[in-house]
Structure 1
Amino acid sequence: MTTETRNGSPESNSDPTPHKRWSSTLPTWVGIGIFIYLSVFALGFAQLFLVPVVLAFLLSMVFSPIRRFFDRRGLSQGLSALIIITSLLTGLFAIAAALAVPVSGWINNAPQIEMRIEGRLNEITGPFSELFEAKEKLDSMASSDSPKVQQVETQDDNLSQKLAALVPTVMTQFLFTLVLLLFLLASGDMFYEKLVHIMPTLRDKKRAVRITHDIERKLSRYLFTITVINAGLGVAVAIAMWALGMPSPLVFGIIAFLFNFVPYLGALAGIIIAAMVAIVSYDWIGWAPIVAGTYFFLTTLEGQLITPYFVGRSLRLNTVVVFLTISFWAWLWSVVGMIVAVPLLVAVKTLSEHIDGLEPLGHFLSERHAERQPEASIGER
């Protein structure tokens, strides 16, 4: 049935086109949703296998330029890989040795430290103690009027026992990561050659090589720059903690260096640790905010001035997306997920810059107005 418009032309009462369009696209979106759900489930289910694999591939991209440097000097790929792995292990063992004694002391004295912190916090909450006591009396009166119910108390396992239970899994993943990284570095550019070989046309071959080299270049430069910046931050934090009279200032420098690989959350964790140690180390409670404020000032200076200056604009990411990505991977893969979240985001953003259909995703992952700037490499500013 049709109706006449003002100019006399017939007009249909209903246009079935939008309904048909929605009906045709609905199965596509349902399929995408199912694919995303299954992908997340698979990533979580295969965590023990995928975590070392992802770490090994990311580290291989980081160390590939160093391996090529040794190749140009005439060293074999196997020997270059062995030198890189040995240097990496030496650095990790040095960090572990520096942290072993202080951290083990903190773990062994955890009950005394907890009581000390509670005692110092009670000094702050002293004016409100009467309110807390009144609440406890009301709770006890309410519980006395209720029927007696037998309560079963459960005790958590000792912290040391939990850590001991995690050691075999962590060591297995660590060794698997090192062995896979050794094979990846020793194989040279074999994966790139295989990728070029399976591409059907010369244009696709060139594009594949360009994408992989760009991802490798940006990841290696990004992680190298962040590592140098974090090392400088660790030195600054260690000097500041030493000047403030904090115990084990070297430990705080290492904590700042390691934790700062996780944006936002790492700095927050370092501030909390510094504040808690200050509470139990000083007689005056006012030193705690001074120490925490000093740590916060140094990390803010690094995050707002130093890192943006040395990291090219093309690699700066949307801060909201970074925070959500870190939260998602932390939920999925715990601590390792927080470490690999930003490098994976950099890889996805770099990939989107070379594929026409993914350009909107690249703009979305970039910081504000970053897409309007010419692409610059790290340190170019």
Structure 2
Amino acid sequence: MTDDKKTAGETPATPQPTPPPADAPPEVPPEPVLESPPEAVPPELAAEPERLLLHMPVDVRSASLVVLAVLGSVFALRWGQAVFIPLMLSLMLTYALSPLVEQLHRLRLPRWIAAALILVGLFGGLGWTGYSLSGNATQLAESLPVAAQKLGQAMRRSRGASATPLDSVQQAAAQLEKAAEENSARVAARKGVARVVIERPSFNVRDYLLSGTVGLLEAIGQLTLVAFLTYFALCSGDTFRRKLIKITGPSLQKKKVTVHVLDDITRNIERYLLVQILISALVGVTTGLAFWAIGVENAAVWGIIAGVTNLIPYVGSVIVMVAAGLVAFLQFNSLEMGVLVGGVSLAIHTLVGNLLMPWLTSRTSRMNPVAVFVGVIFWGWLWGVWGLLLGIPITMVIKSICDRVEDLQPIGELLGE
């Protein structure tokens, strides 16, 4: 028991540390790690928000093929415009005249007779209108040189005797050019050098008439081709429609899509033609009444000319403005009246033809007005005046096709309102 108490009362001895061996290297205290201060961030980078990136996989090969296909199509349309323009014109006339042919066909009249009667009436009316306006057109053409001469005299009188800075610079440049020519002639004569003068070829009336005759024959040939294409298309009725539906394949879904596309094209073109006729009639009536109120001679003729030229977007208004302004200047012998008549014509065409027409077209066809304007510019560059006339219907056809084809729906959405 004594031993147990003694053992319990004693504290256990702490173990002594083992001495390091003699050959061990002395411990080196670790070097303190110096923390570098955070780098200063420029304020413009610190304030820049995180950019959101849209990850869209782009197939370069497919995109290149699409670009090449578009460029090839544009080149083909430009190169083959002698064929494509009559084809598109006949297609437009077919859409415009087919309701009349259908009405006559319901009256037990054969389709080929109905188409012939309508085309003869159309071209006969156009010929009679042109013949009735030929006298006024000839008088206008003969008066244009006199009008231009009087206009120049009136502008010089309005400026007065004091020359403008531009006139002074022009006069000084002419004097310098004359002095330089005289000096060069004296130097050439003193050195014994023969002076060569290149004369411009004189104006040959025969060449001018020959080129004009060739252009007239080409226009007559184009109109004849359009007339025959339109006649055969009207006689065929819905034959091509049924054939297009048939060649799409045996799938019922494809046939339905083709029917919807053709219905959309027909509906949009018919609405466009209706809007075009109404707007042209409104422009013609408004122009005729405005010119009659001002006192311009042949106001009714000018109304017809304004209505017809309104079919050419953005160009017909300029033609009527210039011609009407010159005729008014000749009639009233006043520069202010010429400017007034030209301004009234331009205002009517701008408000009714160039602003109301694209808006109504975009509303009836559900197209973006910007797309309509860009389409007119593109087709005008491609086919000239005919492109300006056909640009909007072609854009409508493209939109109708893109809306029904799944892979082309983004283009249809871009062209839509």
Contact 1:199–1:205, Cα closer than 8 Å, also in 2: yes
1:215 and 2:265 correspond: yes
Structure 1, gaps ≥5 residues long: 1-20, 371-381
Between the aligned partners of 1:223 and 1:167, the Cα distance in structure 2 is 27
1:152 and 2:173 correspond: no
> TM-score, with normalisation over the residues of structure 2?
0.74
Partner of 2:24: none
Between the aligned partners of 1:97 and 1:124, the Cα distance in structure 2 is 39
After superposition, the Cα gap between the structure-2 partners of 1:123 and 1:233, relative to the gap in structure 1 and judged at 3 Å, is same
After superposition, the Cα gap between the structure-2 partners of 1:329 and 1:293, relative to the gap in structure 1 and judged at 3 Å, is same
Between the aligned partners of 1:83 and 1:26, the Cα distance in structure 2 is 55
1:43 and 2:43 correspond: no
Contact 1:226–1:307, Cα closer than 8 Å, also in 2: yes
**Match of 1:61, as an amino acid?**
Y
1:173 and 2:234 correspond: no
Partner of 1:247: 297
Tell me by how many angstroms 1:66 deviates.
2.5
Tell me by how many angstroms 1:265 deviates.
2.8
After superposition, the Cα gap between the structure-2 partners of 1:123 and 1:344, relative to the gap in structure 1 and judged at 3 Å, is farther
Partner of 1:11: none
Tell me by how many angstroms 1:121 deviates.
3.5
Question: Where in structure 2 are the equivalents of 1:359-378 lying within 5 Å?
Answer: 359-366=409-416, 370=417
Structure 2, gaps ≥5 residues long: 1-56, 186-194
Contact 1:98–1:251, Cα closer than 8 Å, also in 2: no
Decide which of 237, 244, 248 is 1:195's aligned counterpart: 244
Moved more, 304-313 or 319-328: 304-313
Q: Does the residue aligned with 2:391 lie in a helix, a strand or coil? A: helix
Between the aligned partners of 1:175 and 1:278, the Cα distance in structure 2 is 37
Between the aligned partners of 2:362 and 2:337, the Cα distance in structure 1 is 38
Tell me by how many angstroms 1:109 deviates.
4.6
**Match of 1:189, as an amino acid?**
D
After superposition, the Cα gap between the structure-2 partners of 1:130 and 1:309, relative to the gap in structure 1 and judged at 3 Å, is closer
Q: Does the residue aligned with 1:206 lie in a helix, a strand or coil? A: helix
Contact 1:233–1:299, Cα closer than 8 Å, also in 2: yes
After superposition, the Cα gap between the structure-2 partners of 1:183 and 1:28, relative to the gap in structure 1 and judged at 3 Å, is same
Q: Does the residue aligned with 1:151 lie in a helix, a strand or coil? A: coil
Question: Where in structure 2 are the equivalents of 1:20-59 lying within 5 Å?
Answer: 25-59=59-93
Q: Does the residue aligned with 2:334 lie in a helix, a strand or coil? A: coil
Tell me by how many angstroms 1:189 deviates.
0.4
Question: Where in structure 2 are the equivalents of 1:1-381 lying within 5 Å?
Answer: 25-126=59-160, 127-128=163-164, 129-146=167-184, 149-155=196-202, 162-200=211-249, 201-303=251-353, 307=357, 311=361, 313-315=363-365, 317-366=367-416, 370=417
Partner of 1:375: none
Q: Does the residue aligned with 2:212 lie in a helix, a strand or coil? A: helix
After superposition, the Cα gap between the structure-2 partners of 1:283 and 1:90, relative to the gap in structure 1 and judged at 3 Å, is same
Tell me by how many angstroms 1:60 deviates.
0.9
After superposition, the Cα gap between the structure-2 partners of 1:280 and 1:136, relative to the gap in structure 1 and judged at 3 Å, is farther
Q: Does the residue aligned with 1:353 lie in a helix, a strand or coil? A: helix
Q: CA RMSD in A?
A: 3.0
**Structure with more relative contact order (C-alpha pairs < 8 Å, separation 6 or more):** 1
Moved more, 280-289 or 64-73: 64-73
Contact 1:70–1:80, Cα closer than 8 Å, also in 2: yes
Q: How many residues matched?
A: 348
After superposition, the Cα gap between the structure-2 partners of 1:94 and 1:121, relative to the gap in structure 1 and judged at 3 Å, is farther
After superposition, the Cα gap between the structure-2 partners of 1:244 and 1:164, relative to the gap in structure 1 and judged at 3 Å, is farther
After superposition, the Cα gap between the structure-2 partners of 1:118 and 1:305, relative to the gap in structure 1 and judged at 3 Å, is closer
After superposition, the Cα gap between the structure-2 partners of 1:143 and 1:216, relative to the gap in structure 1 and judged at 3 Å, is farther
Contact 2:115–2:235, Cα closer than 8 Å, also in 1: yes
**Match of 1:135, as an amino acid?**
A
Name the % identity.
27
After superposition, the Cα gap between the structure-2 partners of 1:304 and 1:93, relative to the gap in structure 1 and judged at 3 Å, is closer
**Match of 1:226, as an amino acid?**
Q
Between the aligned partners of 1:138 and 1:154, the Cα distance in structure 2 is 26
CA-to-aligned-CA distance 1:298-335 (integer Å, 9 cap, x gap): 22331477547755624254444434433333333222
Between the aligned partners of 1:113 and 1:264, the Cα distance in structure 2 is 24
